[in-house]
Amino acid sequence: MQAVISFKESGGRATLDPRTSILSIFVISMVMIGGGLSGVEYWLRLFCCLIPFVFLVTVHNYQFAAIYLGLYLFSAVIEGAVIQLTSGGWNLLFVIVAGIISRFLAPMVMGYCVMQSTTVSEFVTAMERIHVPQVITIPLSVMFRFFPTISEENKAVSEAMRMRQISGKKQSLIKKMEYELVPVMMSTVRIADELSQASLTKGLGGDIKRTHICEVGLRIRDYVLMLFLLVVTVLFVVY
């Protein structure tokens, strides 16, 4: 289940307030994807790619932190040196690979960290605080609640395919993909339907003001990070 993107499954309060988390995903994406490789922007990007690293270390996910650091060092070496030493097709390949890693890895990892440390109810509550309507938050939270379900269904169907020895059959690849996808879709649709019924009978989506037992609120760490993110945004826009 580790590889599946979903909300936090257990444990205590989120490391960061969901609002800070979402702001940081936006800022990191903006700087990492849109920023240049020299001058002030170089330092801003360096700062932004360190945020997910620090996050991973604070939640004790050292293995992932090490892989993350390794990938960034790798892309830094390529962007800093290898590109100057090569030319032609190889050069193009290196530029593409290093570019994808250095521009997209940080926002993706930050998104992963946020999901892994936030529960559904913390997310819904924080969204309510900034007056995002339920029409947006409920589908969003259901969507992420659903990824592990899809993965469970997919596992069951691929097992059935193995049992029926489909891979040995003279069927086209497209046909085999269809065999896998259709049952997965059918059963996720059914689960979604049953989930809506269960949620409705538990009073979701009513006019009554929801309360919440989770603690959501900005703490010093949130203010500090927000301040940094603000500075980064200002510098990024100015330069």
The C-alpha torsion from 110 through 128 and 198 to 207, rounded to 10°, is -170
Amino acid letter, residue 69: L
Establish if 179 lies at the interface with another protein (CB under 8 A): yes
Smallest distance, Å, CB 25 to another protein? 19
**Rule CB under 8 A: is residue 202 a binding residue for another protein?**
yes
What is the closest distance, in whole angstroms, from the C-beta atom of residue 133 to another protein in the complex?
Answer: 16
Planar angle of CA 114, 118, 120, nearest 5 degrees = 130
**What is the chain's length?**
239
Assess 99 for contact with another protein (CB under 8 A): no
| Residue 8 binds another protein, judged by CB under 8 A | yes
- The answer to whether residue 60 forms part of the interface with another protein (CB under 8 A) is no
Contacting another protein (CB under 8 A), which of 28, 157, 225, 226? 157
For the bound state, the minimum distance from the C-beta of residue 103 to another protein, rounded and expressed in Å, comes to 30
Q: Which of residues 109-148 bind another protein (CB under 8 A)?
A: 119-121, 141-142, 145, 148
Give the shortest CB-130-to-another protein separation in angstroms: 18
Q: Which residue has the tokens 């596992």?
A: 155
Q: Is 6 left (phi over 0), alpha (psi -120 to 50) or beta?
A: beta
Assess 6 for contact with another protein (CB under 8 A).
yes
First-to-final CA distance of the chain: 42
Q: Which of 169, 217, 223, 227 binds another protein (CB under 8 A)?
A: 169
Contact between 77 and another protein per CB under 8 A: no
> How is residue 95 written in tokens?
């530029």
Per CB under 8 A, 200 contacts another protein: yes
Our finding on whether 198 is near another protein (CB under 8 A) is yes
Report the chain's C-alpha Rg in angstroms.
Answer: 22
Q: How far is the CB of 65 from another protein (least distance, A)?
A: 22
Q: How far is CA 238 from CA 41, 225, 228, 231, 235, in A?
A: 11, 20, 15, 10, 5
Q: How far, in Å, are 45, 57, 76, 96, 106 from residue 33 at the CA level?
A: 9, 23, 15, 13, 9
CB of 222 to another protein, least distance (A): 20
Distance between CA 134 and CA 199 in Å, rounded?
14
Size of the site for another protein (CB under 8 A): 60
**Which chain residues interact with another protein by CB under 8 A?**
1, 6-12, 119-121, 141-142, 145, 148-149, 152-153, 156-157, 159-166, 169-170, 178-180, 182-183, 186-187, 190-191, 194-214
